[in-house]
Every structure is written in structure tokens, then in C-alpha cells.
């Protein structure tokens, strides 16, 4: 498909409109996502229980206390499983949100539980785009776990093993942070293809999204950042919770709330898609 020549995305106007359309169409959003949230509640409660070790090891790393997950590989796999399990719900609601903002298609008063070819295509594309963002973090964690396991095998003293790998943990965290920023810069532009998939436009590819957003890398990055900033602040605050009972209760609730709150950034993508792909018409 032919795309318009690259132009500058109006950053602050796009961010403001993303929040405005989210608030203005909130009743439609509730009708779209309430059943998905109900279905996902027990699933997330189980998954969050399995992820307890990941939460504790992060808290231990911040305080310098030694901690060894009983099965770190299982912990990481469960994190990926949690994301995959959430994809159908997020993709279904996102497709409805894109179509509402770009084509004025309202969900109506009946039950919304869309699962079709468009939602499946959206979920698959979103998974691979998201994998770019997660790759640096997971590679660094796996490297740290391997070195920590080797240190424990060499010395039965867990405290000494943790101290020996502390420098590695710091360097891995720094590299992962840098890699995540670079990945987010790439993902911010590739994500422009998602609204096109939601509209059933096969001609909107990752390549065309990359080309049309040329010279807008940082604008797309900051647009994403400011649309998820409130959620990031709440999530970081909750990461300090270490009580198993509290984590099991609070984290699933936060995961469920991400379905409606995440539509702020999805709405921003719709507005950016309109700017880059549809402004000429």
C-alpha cells in the first residue's frame, strides 16, 4: 500500500486526546471489557501465585539480601505464560477500541467477547512486537540465574554465592535497562501496524509502519511513555509488597485493571495511525 510522506506527530496533542477519548468513551470501554476481566480473574490469581518467587528475588536484590528461587526457569516461563494468557483478552478489547476510535463502531449493549481472525492476527502480531521489548530483560535474568547456580554449585554458602554474583547482577541490570530502552524505541514505531490489523487492512505491515514513522522515533516513544506513566507509577509502588497473601490479591487485580487502563496507549496508537496513514483522506 502507498503511505504518506513522513511528518511530525503532534506529541502533546496526541497524548491529551488519548486521555480525552478514553474518558469520553469509558462506558463503551466497560461494556467491552467487563466479561473478559471476569473470565481472566481466576486465571491471573493462579499465575500470580506462581510468580511469587520473581517478586521476592527483585526485592532481595534491592536490599542486598540473598535469595535463591527454587526453580528460576519455571518462574520465568510462568511470566511468559501470564502474558500469553492475557493476549486474547487484550487483543479483543484493543480491536474494539481501535475500531471505535477510527470507525466509530460501538460495542452495543450486548455481551462483547470477540474472538475471530482479526483478533487472532492482532494477538500474534502484538506478541512478536512485545517479545522485542522483553528480550533484553529475560536474557539478563537467565544469565544471572546461570552464574548464580554455578556459584552455588561451587560453594554451598548461599550468602557467599550471592555476594560473588552481585557485580554480575548489577552489570546485567544496566545492560538490560539499556537494551530495553532501545527495544522500546523500535517497538514504539512498529506498533503503528496494530490499528491497521484491527481494521482488517492487510496492507499495513511492520515495514510500512516503520517507513511512515520515520523521524518520529522519540515522539512515538514519549507518546507511549506518557500514556502508561500513571500505571507504571502504581505498578512500581506495588512491587514493594512482599506479603504472599497481599501479592496474591493485589497483583491479579492490577493485571485485570491493565485491560481498561491499557486502552489509553491503544487509543494513542489509533490517533497516531490516523495521523500517519489516513490524514490525506
Residues 22-47: tens digit of each pLDDT: 999 999 999 999 999 999 888 887 77
d(CA 120, CA 204): 16
Residue-level pLDDT at 281: 47
pLDDT value for 62:
46
Of 8, 48, 41, 20, the closest CA to residue 238 belongs to 48
- Whether 72 shows a pLDDT value over 90: the answer reads no
Residue 219: how many other CB atoms lie within 10 Å: 19
**pLDDT band for position 171 (cuts 50, 70, 90):** confident
Per-residue pLDDT tens digits for 195-245: 999 999 988 899 999 999 999 999 999 999 999 988 887 777 666 665 555
Cα–Cα distance between 205 and 207 in angstroms, integer?
5
Distance CA 133, CA 55 (A): 20
Using a pLDDT cut of 70, give the percent of the chain over it. Answer: 70
- Which range (9-13, 51-55, 68-72) has the least confidence? 68-72
Mean pLDDT of 182-194: 93
Task: Compute the distance between CA of residue 162 and CA of residue 67 in angstroms, rounded to an integer.
Answer: 8
In whole angstroms, what is the distance from residue 259 CA to residue 116 CA? 19
pTM above 0.75, yes or no: yes
* Separation between Cα atoms, residue 188 and residue 185, nearest integer Å: 5
Per the listing, cell 471505535 goes with 100
Taking all residues of the chain, what is their mean pLDDT, rounded to a whole number? Answer: 80
- In the chain, which ranges are continuous DSSP H helix? 11-24, 26-50, 52-63, 72-103, 117-154, 158-164, 166-190, 193-198, 206-212, 217-238, 244-261, 263-273
Which triple of cell numbers denotes residue 85? 494468557
Any idea which of 91-95, 107-111, 165-169, 219-223 has the lowest mean pLDDT?
Answer: 165-169
- Grid cell 530495553 — which residue? 180
Burial class (CB in 10 A: 0-12, 13-18, 19+), 3: middle
> pLDDT confidence of 175, banded at 50, 70, 90?
confident
Q: Which of 189, 181, 221 is nearest to 6 (CA)?
A: 189
The more confidently predicted of residues 221 and 75 is 221
pLDDT in tens, 114-170: 999 999 999 999 999 988 887 777 777 676 666 666 665 665 555 555 555 666 667
Task: Give 156-159's long-range contacts (Cβ < 8 A, gap of 24+).
Answer: 158/66, 158/68, 159/66
Q: What is the pLDDT of residue 146?
A: 66
Q: How confident is the model at residue 260 (pLDDT cuts 50, 70, 90)?
A: very high
Q: Are 105 and 99 in contact (CB under 8 A)?
A: yes
- So what's the pLDDT on residue 272? 96
Amino acid at each position: 500500500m502507498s503511505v504518506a510522506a513522513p511528518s511530525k506527530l503532534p506529541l502533546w496533542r496526541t497524548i491529551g486526546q488519548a486521555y480525552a477519548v478514553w474518558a469520553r468513551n469509558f462506558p463503551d470501554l466497560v461494556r467491552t471489557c467487563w466479561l473478559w476481566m471476569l473470565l481472566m480473574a481466576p486465571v491471573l490469581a493462579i499465575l500470580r501465585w506462581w510468580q511469587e518467587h520473581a517478586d521476592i528475588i527483585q526485592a532481595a536484590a534491592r536490599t542486598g539480601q540473598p535469595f535463591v528461587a527454587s526453580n528460576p526457569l519455571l518462574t520465568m516461563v510462568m511470566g511468559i505464560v501470564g502474558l500469553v494468557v492475557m493476549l486474547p483478552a487484550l487483543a479483543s478489547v484493543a480491536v474494539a477500541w481501535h475500531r471505535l476510535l477510527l470507525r466509530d463502531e460501538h460495542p452495543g449493549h450486548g455481551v462483547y467477547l470477540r474472538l475471530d481472525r482479526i483478533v487472532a492476527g492482532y494477538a500474534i502480531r502484538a506478541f512478536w512486537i512485545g517479545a522485542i521489548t522483553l528480550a533484553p530483560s529475560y536474557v539478563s535474568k537467565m544469565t544471572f540465574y546461570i552464574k548464580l547456580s554455578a556459584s552455588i554449585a561451587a560453594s554451598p554458602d548461599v550468602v557467599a554465592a550471592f555476594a560473588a554474583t552481585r557485580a554480575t547482577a548489577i552489570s546485567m541490570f544496566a545492560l538490560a535497562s539499556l537494551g530495553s530502552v532501545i527495544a522500546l524505541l523500535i517497538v514504539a514505531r512498529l506498533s503503528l501496524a496494530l490499528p491497521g490489523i484491527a481494521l482488517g487492512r492487510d496492507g499495513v505491515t511492520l515495514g510500512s509502519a516503520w517507513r511512515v514513522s520515520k523521524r518520529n522515533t522519540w515522539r512515538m516513544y514519549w507518546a507511549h511513555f506518557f500514556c502508561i506513566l500513571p500505571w507504571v507509577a502504581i505498578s512500581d509502588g506495588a512491587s514493594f509488597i512482599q506479603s504472599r497473601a497481599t501479592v496474591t490479591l493485589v497483583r491479579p487485580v492490577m493485571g485485570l485493571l491493565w485491560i481498561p487502563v491499557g486502552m489509553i496507549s491503544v487509543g494513542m496508537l489509533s490517533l497516531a495511525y490516523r495521523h500517519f496513514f489516513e490524514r490525506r483522506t
